[in-house]
């Protein structure tokens, strides 16, 4: 476990460094852009630009900038927002609760839909039904989610008047964004789970259990699903990241408050400190979820808890 | 299966109507990108104010928008820009990813470790967020969006290429070539690259669908083409304000994106199945 924690810290540091390289080293000067647009297109004087650069710490040599920013980031300080002047970390974290609400619901829906489709699609003896169900995940992956959100608004808000179209008040406003967000994620879960279920069902132990008199249902849900859930679980880190990234689009479509909205606005304003805070937050989610999965693994698969399983290399290359 | 006769190929395709349909969709979209005038004679930029917000009809297949522009014409003329961006994205991902993977797999040692750890980190950040960060730094516009999407998708290519290089490297024929005095650069060009090409091209086809989705998502968010220029994602964004009154403005451009992604994914899976010998 200490080894895993160390790896997690390295990934976070690397994500910070990657975002520093992308955001601070590439051409395109956020301060100039910012000053240019703030004055309504009038170019700011050299003195003003220099003052703004100094205020954002952009006039130090790059290694010094990197060191300073890394030290600050360790304290949770990513600098101040170029456009609002607020603390970037605070801006992103205060937008987190509404995003987590949608993301959480979306995760539940994705697991239910994706899992349901995969399990039923492989269980049914009706060939056409199986084919229909298993053709849903590839379809779900192919639909642009910004468009799915708009279609859902059209149908459920404007035609059927079931739920409010926009805004972030009440549980009803959660449903459509969560469904939109869940669709691509559920499709990925469905695809992976169906594949590993098929692999499991072809294993010799299935025949043994059937020969001993177990029902098809028992084999399917009791044995194969349990074995198939493990490979699907490695996806969870990716899934969490996708949900957070997907919220940029869904929150824009549904005009909801949250991290995604903050991100979209920050990119529009080329607000580098805020964008960097979001990137590191996403990496943090990825790392945290993967750590949680690593802790869960031995509970699901006793073989991994055995000392013979060695540390590391269990999920590292998944 | 190289010795399939024309008749067998025909039968093979007849049993896969989805695959044929996918091919037709891709062919039509490519044609629209090259020669939009074949599909529509209407102007995608200048509208006819008298025909504002008309629903779909024989004269306006996809209806018209708030300034009386034909939505079908805008979708057709948008194909060139959207496809160009997608192709740039896939090329960036393929070339840079394959180069990194080749380097890592071939040189091995510390270089391999460094490159692959960087790739690990790239994969820890969701592709859309990484491309948003790149767009923040590079600035807006379709080309920058395409480059950003390409870079954020290079990790899969690097991994695949490295795995292929390692696989081919240990082959007996590579050993034979080395033993008979061929230099590593010669082995690389003659043996390693051609062998690795197949799986990389399959991945490129599958990445094409992802790239169409990501490019259109970024342009939907407003980081791509500037307003009057038709681009699929931007077209959907343009119809957002008219959801209640003019459903066709968002529905048809969105369906176009979905159809292209479905078709390329179907094609990619067919190629994949063909390669792994199904």
* Mean pLDDT, chain A, whole residue set: 81
Burial B197-208 (b: 16+ CB within 10 A, else e): eebbebbbbbbb
* Per-residue pLDDT tens digits for A252-263: 988 888 899 999
Which pLDDT does position B18 carry in this prediction?
81
For residues A314 and B194, what is the distance between their CA atoms, to the nearest angstrom?
33
β-partners of residue B70 are: B64
Q: Is the CB of residue A159 less than 8 Å away from at least one CB of chain B? A: no
How far A212 CA sits from the closest chain B CA (Å)? Answer: 32
List the single residue in A with minimal CA-CA distance to B118: A14
Contact yes or no for B127 and A245 at CB 8 A: yes
For residues B104 and B6, the model is more confident at B104
- As a whole number, mean pLDDT of residues A261-267 equals 90
* Res B248: pLDDT: 85
Q: What is the mean pLDDT of residues A151-159?
A: 84
Interface predicted TM-score (ipTM): 0.84
Question: Which of A287-296, B63-72, B201-210, B227-236 comes out lowest in average pLDDT?
Answer: B63-72
Whose CA is closest to B234, among B145, B115, B117, B107? B145
pLDDT of residue A35: 52
Interface residue of B118, B130, B133, B246 to substitute, partner A, most A CBs within 10 Å: B133
What pLDDT shows up at residue A317? Answer: 42
Mean pLDDT of A223-248: 83
The nearest alpha carbon in chain B to A160 belongs to B244
User: Which tokens belong to A318?
Assistant: 């998944």
Cβ distance A146 to B217 less than 8 Å, yes or no, reads yes
Q: What is the pLDDT of residue A307?
A: 53
**Residue written as tokens 């060191």?**
A67
Kindly list the structural domains of chain B, giving each domain's residue range(s) and its CATH number in brackets, ordered by start. Answer: 4-276 (1.10.3720.10)
Q: Please report, rounded to a whole number, the percentage of residues in chain B having pLDDT higher than 70.
A: 96
pLDDT at A41: 47
Interface contact flag, A283 B132, Cβ < 8 Å:
no
Q: What is the value of pTM for the model shown?
A: 0.86
A270 and chain B in contact, CB less than 8 A: yes
Q: What is the secondary structure of A17-62 as a DSSP string?
A: HHHHIIIIISS--HHHHHHHHHTTTPPPPHHHHHHHHHHTT-SS-H
Instruction: Please tell me the predicted confidence (pLDDT) of residue A30.
Output: 57
Report the pLDDT averaged over residues B83-106.
Answer: 91
Higher pLDDT, residue A53 or B39? B39
Query: pLDDT at residue A33 above 70?
Result: no
């Amino acid at each position: 476990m200490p080894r895993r924690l160390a790896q997690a810290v390295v990934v976070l540091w690397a994500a910070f460094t990657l975002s520093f390289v992308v955001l601070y080293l590439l051409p395109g000067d956020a301060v100039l852009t910012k000053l240019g647009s703030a004055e309504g297109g009038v170019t700011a004087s050299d003195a003003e630009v220099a003052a703004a650069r100094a205020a954002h710490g952009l006039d130090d040599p790059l290694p010094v900038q990197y060191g300073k920013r890394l030290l600050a980031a360790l304290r949770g300080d990513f600098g101040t927002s170029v456009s609002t002047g607020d603390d970037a970390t605070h801006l992103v974290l205060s937008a987190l609760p509404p995003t987590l609400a949608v993301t959480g619901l979306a995760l539940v829906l994705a697991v239910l839909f994706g899992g349901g489709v995969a399990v039923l699609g492989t269980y049914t003896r009706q060939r056409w039904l199986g084919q229909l169900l298993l053709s849903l995940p590839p379809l779900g992956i192919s639909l642009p989610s910004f468009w799915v959100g708009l279609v859902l608004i059209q149908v459920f808000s404007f035609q059927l008047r079931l739920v409010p179209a926009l805004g972030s008040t009440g549980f009803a406003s959660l449903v459509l964004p969560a469904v939109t967000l869940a669709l691509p994620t559920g499709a990925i879960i469905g695809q992976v789970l169906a594949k590993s279920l098929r692999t499991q069902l072809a294993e010799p132990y299935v025949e043994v259990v059937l020969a001993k008199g177990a029902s098809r249902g028992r084999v399917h849900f009791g044995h194969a699903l349990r074995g198939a859930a493990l490979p699907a679980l490695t996806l969870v880190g990716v899934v969490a990241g996708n949900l957070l990234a997907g919220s940029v689009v869904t929150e824009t479509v549904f005009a909801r408050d949250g991290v995604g909205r903050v991100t979209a606005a920050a990119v529009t304003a080329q607000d580098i400190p805020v964008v960097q805070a979001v990137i590191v937050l996403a990496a943090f989610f990825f790392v945290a979820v993967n750590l949680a999965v690593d802790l869960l693994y031995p509970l699901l698969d006793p073989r991994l808890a055995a000392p013979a399983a060695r540390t590391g290399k269990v999920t590292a290359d998944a | 299966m190289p010795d399939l006769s024309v008749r067998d190929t025909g039968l093979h395709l007849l049993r896969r109507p989805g695959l044929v349909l996918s091919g037709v969709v891709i062919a039509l979209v490519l044609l629209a990108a090259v020669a939009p005038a074949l599909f529509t004679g209407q102007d995608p930029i200048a509208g006819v104010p008298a025909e504002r917000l008309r629903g779909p009809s024989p004269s306006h297949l996809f209806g018209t928008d708030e300034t009386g522009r034909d939505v079908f014409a805008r979708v057709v003329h948008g194909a060139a820009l959207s496809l160009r961006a997608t192709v740039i994205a896939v090329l960036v991902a393929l070339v840079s990813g394959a180069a990194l993977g080749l380097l890592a797999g071939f040189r091995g040692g510390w270089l391999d470790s460094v490159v692959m750890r960087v790739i690990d980190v790239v994969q820890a950040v969701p592709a859309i967020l990484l491309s948003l960060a790149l767009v923040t730094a590079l600035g807006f516009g379709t080309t920058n969006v395409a480059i950003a999407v390409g870079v954020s998708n290079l990790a899969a290519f690097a991994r695949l290429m490295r795995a292929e290089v390692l696989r081919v490297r240990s082959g007996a024929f590579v050993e034979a070539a080395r033993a008979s005095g061929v230099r590593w650069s010669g082995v690389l060009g003659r043996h390693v690259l051609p062998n690795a090409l197949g799986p990389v091209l399959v991945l490129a086809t599958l990445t094409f669908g992802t790239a169409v989705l990501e490019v259109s998502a970024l342009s939907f968010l407003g980081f791509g083409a500037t307003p009057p220029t038709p681009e699929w994602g931007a077209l959907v964004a343009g119809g957002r304000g008219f959801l209640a009154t003019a459903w066709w403005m968002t529905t048809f451009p969105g369906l176009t994106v979905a159809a292209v992604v479905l078709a390329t994914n179907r094609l990619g899976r067919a190629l994949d199945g063909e390669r792994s010998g199904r």
